[in-house]
Amino acid sequence: MSDFTGKTVLVTGSSRGIGLAIAKAFDAAGANLILHARSEIQAETLAEFQHDVQVLQFDIADATATEASLKALYKQENFQGIDILVNNAGITKDQLAMGLTPEDFAQVVNVNLNGTFNVTQPVFKKMIRQKHGVIINLSSVVGLMGNMGQTNYAASKAGIIGLTKSLAKEGARRHIRVNAIAPGMIVSDMTAALPEATQAEILKNIPLARFGQVDEIAQTALFLAENDYITGQTITVDGGLYI
């Protein structure tokens, strides 16, 4: 059983889905949780946590607002710093490349890739000074293998892998580890909305013959947070889709 008692964990995009599952897993392991969302997190969601949580609300694509929110966090009385940062927040705007507008391409990259950097940079600076820290970035199997209709999303998630490797090299001497998780097809509102025929076609390419669960991504995050000899890696959790 993982034990993160006394550790402070910030999870972006933690109002639902994978981000919420990761936050709950760290909460169950005793961590102090800082949740983040672009919009208000519902009271019933907050009530699902075992311990008190703090909530930050800002758009990660807005570098100025992001930095201001994080600066205010660090200025709080008795705040000891962030031990673990999980960059999960992201969006999709799927369209075949020939129909993709420059605006839709830029928006997805700006949120998923630039937004990840906007959150990471100020936290990374503090981790450098405190001489420890863990950063876990949510990429995607699409960032490794590409996917029709997701040129913008694939580019952003591939960029996160490059960001992860570079930060891992920069942070290692200060005992900061940086890794990425690349989920495959995970049960979610998005996958549930797919036609049954589409789901069946996708399942044909997954050796384990099922979609993943959000808790399986959350357990991977816990593993990366506590294993002190893994850095710069991308852990694929996809049922064998990308073999």
Catalytic residue of the set 74, 153, 229, 242? 153
- Contact status, residue 33 vs residue 44, Cβ threshold 8 Å: no
Question: Side-chain half-sphere of 113: how many Cα atoms within 13 Å?
Answer: 19
Determine whether 153 is an active site residue: yes
Q: In what order do the strands lie in the sheet with 84-87?
A: 53-57, 32-37, 8-11, 84-87, 133-138, 176-183, 234-237
Contact 119, 87 (CB under 8 A): yes
CA 123 to chain CA centroid, nearest Å:
15
- What are the structure tokens assigned to 25, written together? 């897993």
Q: Please give the structure tokens belonging to residue 133.
A: 């820290």
List residues with catalytic annotation. 153
